[in-house]
Structure formats: structure tokens, C-alpha cells
Chains A and B, each alone.
Chain A
Amino acid sequence: QSVLTQPASVSGAPGQRVTISCTGSRSNIGAGNHVHWYQQLPGSAPKLLIYGNSNRPSGVPDRFSGSKSGTSASLAITGLRAEDEADYYCQSYDSRLSGPGNYVFGTGTKVTVL
């Protein structure tokens, strides 16, 4: 099954910088498809954080930034705050005609603020 792989968890102290990786393959991220990132607070729906690899929707703080290179992408959070404690998912489009679905999500990363 086509899937994007993320670390299960990352943690950092308030004010620190953390990064979350998202590793794909030649059929999704490596095919030139954009990567998007979502934040999911406990018990809530996902919220779009980054779209088109590095663009922030209106209202998302510039503490959040995204980048992409080859078959991987990263989300960075600088100046970590308690309210950033959540699950984060990357998402892209898979160009293969077969497979479980064209829109693929990452395995998810739980960010813990120490």
C-alpha cells in the first residue's frame, strides 16, 4: 500500500525547534507532486497547516514552515509552544493508476512539548 512514512513521535522543550520528516517514493513526492501538512488536535478534525510544499494558509503562524526535496518533505516548528502539542500528518498525491487511493496520507507524528 502506498503510504508516506513519518516518525511516530518527536518532542521538544518550549521555544525549541522540531522537525518532522515525511518519506515517500517516486510515485508520489518524487513524481513532483506537492506535499501538504495538517495539524490534528486531540478530538478535533485536521487543520491545513502547509499546502503546496511551503505555503501557509491565512492565519497559520510563520513558526510553521515546510520544505521538500526529492522523495521527502519536512515540517519545521520553531519557537515550540504548548498549544503545538498535536498529531501532524503529511499528504500528497500518488500518480500510480492502481493502488489503494490517489490521495495518500502519512503515518502521523505526535509532537510532545516537554
Chain B
Amino acid sequence: QVQLVQSGAEVKKPGASVKVSCKASGYIFTNYFIHWVRQAPGQRLEWMGWINPDKGFTKYSQKFQGRVTITRDISARTAYMEVSSLTSEDTAVYYCARQILDEFAFDVWGQGTMVTVSS
């Protein structure tokens, strides 16, 4: 079946970086954009950016521009999202999600990766 499986929970110190992976299966990886969305505790969903797995093109929310990097490994069918210069405000669950063809919506989500930033 179509699914996205993410890497496990992370605990990082302020100022560090974290890299989360998202492995796709059950569909043609290069045919669908992958997005990253985060959710701080008790807060709403917040879009971070996307990658076109076929071409490697990316776009980021202005809020995260320069601090977030999204990449992919086609052979591994995996997308990655790295956040640098972490602060406590980056403590959140990070989700990858597949974008529907011809719609700006997300039909398949990863299970989420909890990233905790604490000294």
C-alpha cells in the first residue's frame, strides 16, 4: 500500500541541527511532490516547504527560508528535511506528506517525527 515512513524521535540541544527522513513505498516516488509540515504542541499545522523528487526543485515557506533544507535520494525513495540552528520553538512533530496530483492538498502522510529541543 501507499505509505510514507519517517525516522524516529530526536532530542537536540539548542543550536544543533536535525535531519528527518521520509521513505516512500507503494507508488512511483518521482511522480509526486513531498511536503513537510510541522505541529508544535497544542498548535495548528504549519507548512514548511516542498520538494519535487523528480527534478530536486524545492520551495520553502519564507519563515523557514535559509534554516530548512529539503533533499531527496531517488534510489532510496526517501526525502529528507534538515532544520539548523534549533531553538525551543522548534519543538514539534514534523510530518512529511504527499501532494495530490493537480490539487494543493496532501493525501498521504507520514506517521510524524517528534523533535524535542532542550538544553
* Partner-B contacts on A (CB < 8 A): 33-34, 36, 38, 45-48, 51-52, 57, 89, 91-93, 98-108
Contacts and interface: CB of A to CB of B under 8 A. Distances in A.
Contact of A108 (B44, B100, B105, B109): B44
9 contacts: A34-B105, A36-B106, A46-B95, A48-B100, A89-B44, A100-B63, A102-B59, A105-B45, A106-B44
B104 A93 contact: yes
Contacts, number: 67
Interface residues of B, number: 23
Interface in B98-116: 100, 103-107, 109-112
A48 B105 contact: yes
Contact of B107 (A34, A48, A104): A48
Nearest to A100: B63
A99 B62 CA distance: 6
Contacts of A47: 109
